[in-house]
Structure 1
Amino acid sequence: MTDVVLIMQALANPNKYGIDGKAEHHLIEQDKINGNMDGNGLTVGDAQAIQMEFIGLNF
């Protein structure tokens, strides 16, 4: 679930949590690649897809 939180934080506050973020724990390029569940870039939909997989509701 921490992946989901980090994705949401990076999308909402990219200056702090994005690829070039200033926070100690921010996205790195590999996170962006790994989190892209549907191949169209990192979006809130990817965070939702990860949550769905986590709780076993993969459609």
Structure 2
Amino acid sequence: MVEIEPPTRRSCERCGREDVWNEEANNWVIRVDGGERLVGDRHCIHEWDINGGYSPIVEDGEA
């Protein structure tokens, strides 16, 4: 059996902004670390680190 597992974290390769997936909001939200929001540069055109190297396919060994 194969499952699709979407990413739960992403970070911008240009400015360092970090987002996490919020299930309740069904949306990405800025990650908070030690009370600090990791916003990066708000004017950046974000280059997320989710690319061709990321595989959302998870196999449980029954396939």
The alignment's TM-score, normalised by the length of structure 1, stands at: 0.23
| Greater fraction strand | 2
The alignment's TM-score, normalised by the length of structure 2, stands at: 0.22
**Higher RCO (CA 8 Å, separation ≥ 6 residues):** 2
| Greater fraction helix | 1
Structure of larger gyration radius: 2
